[in-house]
Amino acid sequence: MHTELSTLCSVWLQSLRQIVSIFLASAFSLPLMADPSQPNVLLILSDDHSVPHISCYEDVNTTKFHITPNLQKFAEQGMRFDRAYTTAPQCAPSRISIFACRSPVGLGVTRFAQPAREDVPFFTDVLRAGGYWVGLDGRHHHLDGRIREAEHIDTALRHAGMQNLEKRFDHLVRSAGTKGSGLDQVSKRIEAALDTVPNNKPFFLYFGFNQPHRKFSATFDGIDPAKLELPPDWPDLPEVRIDYARYLASVRELDQGFGQIMQLLVERGIEDNTLVLFMGDNGEALLRGKGTLYDRGT
């Protein structure tokens, strides 16, 4: 990957195929900026989202059924990358690799719900030391292992240093993500986070969507399964077509939530001083996708 972006961004780009676009903004001095050389940074992750399922990559289905208009606009205004790969086709290793800027094997994190050790530095630790306010919201529990209901288990894990996100971030929301009614609250959650940023600090905010992770959207209005073009290595069965239509409907929900965030940046007057990165953690939870080393998994 050849790029003139910062060292931090280049690490991401070398390891993740799922980067869709970067909105590069000019550095104007705004209320949330301490220094024009330190732009705000917003990192948005989708879940189990392969490159083909975004119209800016000229996918027939997402284009035909208008699945990703907001991401399409974003790509047209920014920079699109198509030569990066995930470090692992699975949630926890991939996400921890993003934050630690190291390979899952090097981190010793190769299982689905395995958290990072407390002594593993995240790039957000570096940003924080450099004067950034850092926040985390949305789907992120893979960074701390699975969400558990038994408090005594959580207490033991925290005591062992295996749940330590509270120490790493100025703002942390342990939430159920963006499924169902949660999708309607995306902009409110982003706004609530930004309201806590001190006026003299730039911010880094991560927001993770559940979409298009399974369970997919129950409805797929406007998407005709019979008119979908299937990959040549998929069996052409009614069940496969319906499952694919539901997946695309979940991608459409993601796009709607992404549009909320971009509109909020405009409303707050910070869009010109915010570097926005959008990527997925790994490939689709469909045939020969997530959990495999096929292109649609990586």
pLDDT tens digits, one per residue of 156-176: 666 655 666 778 899 988 766
Residue 2 lies in a domain: no
Q: Return d(Cα 34, Cα 271) in angstroms, integer.
A: 16
Residue 6 pLDDT: 34
- We report the CATH number of the domain holding residue 160 as 3.40.720.10
* Nearest residue to 47 (alpha-carbon basis) of 281, 295, 285, 294: 281
Residue 245 lies in a domain: yes
Q: Would you say 98 and 16 are in contact if contact means Cβ atoms under 8 Å apart? A: yes
Q: Tokens 């292109």 identify what position?
A: 295
Estimate to the nearest angstrom the gap between the alpha carbon of 53 and the chain centroid: 15
User: Structural domain of residue 256, as residue ranges?
Assistant: 7-297
pLDDT tops 50 at residue 251:
yes
Residue 207 lies in a domain: yes
Residue 263 lies in a domain: yes
Both tokens assigned to 8? 């931090």
Work out how many domains the chain is built from and give that number.
Answer: 1
Strand partners, 138: 208
Least confident of 101-105, 157-161, 226-230: 157-161
Residue 228 pLDDT: 98
Under the banding of pLDDT at 50, 70 and 90, the label for residue 19 is very low
- 3-state class of 264 per DSSP? helix
Q: Would you say 169 and 124 are in contact if contact means Cβ atoms under 8 Å apart? A: yes
| pTM passes above 0.85 | no
Estimate to the nearest angstrom the gap between the alpha carbon of 128 and the chain centroid: 20
Residue 95 lies in a domain: yes
Both tokens assigned to 137? 């919201």
Residue 146 pLDDT: 55
Q: Are strands 171-172 and 40-46 parallel, antiparallel or unpaired?
A: unpaired
Residue 1 lies in a domain: no
Region 49-63 average pLDDT: 91
- 3-state class of 140 per DSSP? coil
Residue 155 pLDDT: 66
Residue 249 lies in a domain: yes
- 3-state class of 99 per DSSP? helix
